[in-house]
Structure 1
Amino acid sequence: MQLSDGRHVPDLHLDRAKVDRCRALADQVTAQVLELVRRHTTVSIERTVLRLYGLHDAGPRGVPLVNLAVDALHERGLLDRGAAYWMGYVVRRGATDPLAVVDRMASLPRHPEPLPESEERAMLAEMRREARANVDELAGRVGRRNALRDELGVGPRPHRYVIVATGNIHDDVEQARAAAQAGADVIAVIRSTAQSLLDYVPHGATTEGYGGTYATQENFRIMREALDDESRRIRRYVHLTNYSSGLCMPEIAFAAAWERLDMLLNDAMYGILFRDINMKRTLCDQHFSRRICALADIVINTGEDNYITTADADEAAHTVIASQFVNESFAHRAGLPDRLVGLGHSFEIDPAREDTIARELAQALLVRTLFPEAPIKYMPPTKHKQGDIFFSHAYDVMADVVSCVTGQGIQLLGMMTEAMHNPFLMDRYVALKSSEYVYRAWRSMGAEIGFRPGGLVERRADETLGKALALLEEVAEDGLMKAIGKARFGDIARTEDGGKGLAGVVARAPAYFNPFLEIMEAR
């Protein structure tokens, strides 16, 4: 099979009827969820709307202005009309600068005096005009990013993806520059541990964080400017990614779009399963965040690799495939074309088992064949890593070989000391150096290798696809929320009304107003 970028991968013969049935079932699953999404908004969606109108700053004690406004509206039971409506309302009543707008919104009574019909029409029209102007400004920023990428060009695929995670954004910059100089194509700034559970986005640059660096708009700006500078210096565009997940998923998507990031980790179910965030909250937020990613031409990376860190990778391989079909359908419903849908999976079968490479090849090639236009992101082994750095390094190289042969789009490089500590600069350099050797040595092997009909690879792929189909039949019958409640993904069960953030979900009023959503849906 030839990919759109010219690479070849071995042919994998699949039952097309099974594949088509999987896609139809995934669409059935997501259609049920979209009915819920269309009836609700969330505090994070409404904060994002205000950010799109330009309320980026923080107020007293560093509290974001959007939190001050939206919390007050929610407390008074006004959020069902949409934050954009009340912003227009207070501007119509004389508020001008951002602080005045927020103060007036926070001071609204529980039953504000209705606007005369003609004045309300004029107000809504003005808010729509301003929304279109702001979307045009965002598009201009995205256009500048894309122009630089086109001017400099990018490295060959699979793009080599490495992480930085010092906690200090300025130290992250230095590590990112060093990685780019050593050949990295994508820099991922790992988000500080548990930031996904904060119901606000910290403001400004940050210099400390546990297990990573806080995802803030200013941190995004600092890193993007540094990578633009480094890209010009090395004459190769370096991509930047971060995490759009958790209780502020749409807000981080906006900040990333505004500051010209290229990719975002953005999964429909990750927050539900692995951070115990309420299902309704996550499913509403992921849809709006993906609308923003579509608007800003951002590649999303989904999180199916996480399923096989909590469940057995060999036995649960089909759950990865089923989830990828669901994530693809959610992405399409949010307006993302295949070229922006970076579905995720991982090299995680226990290396103590026999024939793991054949089984890993079957899984990777199955994903590649099912989603030929997607920029598939392939994760390295982590679950079974050891303190033996020599074994660890060999283990990572195996993943690089599978990635190259099966035509993955983005390869997160494993680090030989991953099981021991946050990788040193030298670890990153060694990972980049060895991957360069693998990709050079195996460059054409995808076109040379063929798998025996009815052999282990083909049988394993067909078995996994069949199990994924059976799981999707069950999920379509039960509904996604009940399926998650039965621990069908990642061996983790969650309840529909459990988890964090449910109080931030609001049923939309019949007159709900969100001009940015109108623009995104029209596109």
Structure 2
Amino acid sequence: MDPAQVKQARALARTAGRPVVNLAKRHTTVSVERATLRLAGLSGADHELVPWVNHLVDAVRAQTGLGYGVSLPVWDALRRGVAPDLATLAQKAAGGAVDFRIPEGKEAATAGKAARSAVARGIRTIDAQRARRDKLIARHGDPKQKPWIYLIVATGDIYEDIPQAQAAAREGADIIAVIRSTGQSLLDFVPEGATREGYAGTYATQENFRLMRAALDETSKELGRYIRLTNYASGLCMPEIATLAGLERLDMMLNDSMYGILFRDINPIRTFVDQRFSRQIHARAGIIINTGEDNYLTTADAVEAAHTVTVSQLLNEYFAKEAGLHDWQLGLGHAFEINPDVPDSFRLELAHALLARTLFPKAPLKWMPPTKHMTGDIFRGYLLDGFFNLVGAMTGQGILLVGMMTEAVVTPWISDRDLALQNVRYVLNAAGGLTEDFHPPRDGFIQTRAREVLGESIGLLERIVGDSDRASGPPLLAAIADGTFGAMKRPPTKGKGLDGVVAKGPGYLNPATDLLEEGSTR
């Protein structure tokens, strides 16, 4: 890669992303405010399973609006003796028995100080969980070989997920991902408690997080290597789920800056506000994020749209670092999704994978297996997954999601996972060191293709930035509206969750944001 081109690409991504960050800083959302209350210790739900954080934020919003945040009116009410604690206040507010107000002067200062003290306890819990992870890794050890092997487990029933996850770890998985029940990203509340019914996944709840983390801690001790746990911080409750992940010591979270916009039709402004807060939590908790560029290649051609993946990776890197994440926390995504019937498809996959590894040398890239062109022919699928694993070995990927030969046929059985893990183990044992030896010829097919994709990426970023004069807001939002990524058109004035976005007023206070940005504990 030409260093000047790489530098230019990052500068363009920064120019495209900065107006979006500024927009996010000027707004809050109902989920950001609920996450703040969760950090302060509010949990639980009413008899209809509506969380108390939802009740309390809704009550405050109805009376004072959220332009000042929830912290001032809530801790002002506590200071006035309306209720002895947050839980009781939420219960009374749900019944319409609380009059909220915006305090001023000394009363505002007192309420703000009390809010900061309460939220800081949650931040310290996250800090303690991060320290606990470090101790367990030091005690049990990390996997000896990279890429880390990432396997999905999700039956819908957390009590069935646990033995399957433990079995997967015993067979070689380094990371267990519990994917969420279909549609949870569109729920504007976080379900409560351990759940036993889900659809193509298991609900993300604090109790489910706690149960799975405890089970994998037992397995880590048994196997002598720390087993990481992954879930999804996306959708309408992204900030809350990120907060619960920090409190319960999850290790990785799927958290992409544009996934919810493109593939779940969540309002772009809502998404960017929520993801900035979420990533601040991830940064503090020492959580590795996984981004979702692989999804673009399920709706667009993997060759023609290769440069949109690179552009998204550069934007995800900018947004992540602005929020405080470090290179080692950037599990930037890409995928083995080129049609295998395309001539030189394997060489093209190598070029794209090596481009990502070269652009982000310190990031634990997340390499995703073929899905779009899996036909139901399990023998062909098993071979494709072997080719995918080989590219991962040759290009030094950091996180390898295990491909299933039954993709597009059935939800995998444990036996399917076992065969898939055998495929991974064989390739990595036989060819895991190829990254040391693999150096494509200068100006050969692979290098030429990589430079071509980078050049197209720079061209796209230049077009996005160049539209600033015509765009009424951040030009990146205009590009998203035009269907630039994943062939999905998502305007900033539409999408789910827009009604939960609120412009901050001059007296806005959020102690969680303050503590995270200051790096403070009190």
1:39 pairs with 15, 21, 26, which one?
Answer: 26
What's the RMSD between the two structures over aligned residues?
Answer: 1.5
1:344 pairs with 314, 323, 333, which one?
Answer: 333
* Alpha-carbon shift at residue 134 of structure 1 (Å): 2.7
Q: Distance in 2 between matches of 1:243 and 1:457?
A: 34
1:331 pairs with 282, 304, 320, which one?
Answer: 320
Residue 299 (structure 2) pairs with residue 310 (structure 1): yes
Q: Distance in 2 between matches of 1:236 and 1:172?
A: 20
What is the aligned partner in structure 2 of residue 7 from structure 1? Answer: none
1:148 pairs with 136, 148, 157, which one?
Answer: 136
Mapping 1:233-272, distance limit 5 Å? 233-272=222-261
Is the 2:267–2:497 contact (alpha carbons within 8 Å) kept by the matching residues of 1? yes
Residue 87 (structure 2) pairs with residue 91 (structure 1): no
Is the 1:78–1:110 contact (alpha carbons within 8 Å) kept by the matching residues of 2? no
What SS does structure 2 have at the residue aligned with 1:76?
Answer: helix
Q: Give the letter for the 1:297 counterpart.
A: G
What is the aligned partner in structure 1 of residue 494 from structure 2? Answer: 498
* Alpha-carbon shift at residue 215 of structure 1 (Å): 0.7
What SS does structure 1 have at the residue aligned with 2:126?
Answer: helix
**Cα distance change, pair 424–109 in 1 and its aligned pair in 2 (3 A):** closer
What SS does structure 2 have at the residue aligned with 1:96?
Answer: coil
Is the 1:241–1:262 contact (alpha carbons within 8 Å) kept by the matching residues of 2? yes
1:510 pairs with 493, 506, 511, which one?
Answer: 506
Q: Distance in 1 between matches of 2:503 and 2:331?
A: 31
**Cα distance change, pair 108–120 in 1 and its aligned pair in 2 (3 A):** farther
Identity of aligned residues (%): 50
| Runs (5+) with no aligned partner, structure 1 | 1-13
Q: Distance in 2 between matches of 1:110 and 1:79?
A: 16
* Alpha-carbon shift at residue 116 of structure 1 (Å): 5.5
1:474 pairs with 446, 450, 463, which one?
Answer: 463
* Alpha-carbon shift at residue 387 of structure 1 (Å): 1.2
* Alpha-carbon shift at residue 108 of structure 1 (Å): 7.6
Residue 37 (structure 2) pairs with residue 50 (structure 1): yes
Q: Normalised by the size of structure 1, how large is the TM-score? A: 0.95
Q: Distance in 1 between matches of 2:59 and 2:114?
A: 24
What SS does structure 1 have at the residue aligned with 2:375?
Answer: coil
Is the 1:64–1:203 contact (alpha carbons within 8 Å) kept by the matching residues of 2? yes
Residues 45-95 of structure 1 show CA distances to partners (whole Å, capped at 9, x for unaligned) of 000000000001112311100000111222234211111112211110112
1:487 pairs with 483, 494, 508, which one?
Answer: 483
Of 283-292 and 438-447, more deviation after overlay is shown by 438-447
Q: Distance in 2 between matches of 1:296 and 1:431?
A: 31
Equivalent pairs counted in the alignment come to 510
Of 72-81 and 412-421, more deviation after overlay is shown by 72-81
Q: Distance in 2 between matches of 1:220 and 1:97?
A: 25
* Alpha-carbon shift at residue 145 of structure 1 (Å): 2.1
**Cα distance change, pair 356–116 in 1 and its aligned pair in 2 (3 A):** closer
What is the aligned partner in structure 2 of residue 439 from structure 1? Answer: 428
Residues 169-213 of structure 1 show CA distances to partners (whole Å, capped at 9, x for unaligned) of 010001101100101000000110011000000101110111111
Q: Distance in 2 between matches of 1:106 and 1:510?
A: 28
Is the 2:72–2:102 contact (alpha carbons within 8 Å) kept by the matching residues of 1? no
What SS does structure 1 have at the residue aligned with 2:125?
Answer: helix
What is the aligned partner in structure 2 of residue 8 from structure 1? Answer: none
Residues 448-476 of structure 1 show CA distances to partners (whole Å, capped at 9, x for unaligned) of 22211111001100000000001111122
Q: Normalised by the size of structure 2, how large is the TM-score? A: 0.95
* Alpha-carbon shift at residue 220 of structure 1 (Å): 0.6
Q: Give the letter for the 1:493 counterpart.
A: K
Q: Distance in 1 between matches of 2:127 and 2:184?
A: 28
Q: Distance in 1 between matches of 2:230 and 2:329?
A: 13
What SS does structure 2 have at the residue aligned with 1:81?
Answer: coil
**Cα distance change, pair 308–137 in 1 and its aligned pair in 2 (3 A):** same
Q: Give the letter for the 1:338 counterpart.
A: D
Is the 2:40–2:121 contact (alpha carbons within 8 Å) kept by the matching residues of 1? no
Residue 399 (structure 2) pairs with residue 410 (structure 1): yes
Is the 1:86–1:105 contact (alpha carbons within 8 Å) kept by the matching residues of 2? no
Q: Give the letter for the 2:52 counterpart.
A: L
2:108 pairs with 96, 120, 135, which one?
Answer: 120
Of 56-65 and 330-339, more deviation after overlay is shown by 56-65
Q: Distance in 2 between matches of 1:161 and 1:514?
A: 36
Q: Distance in 1 between matches of 2:406 and 2:328?
A: 33
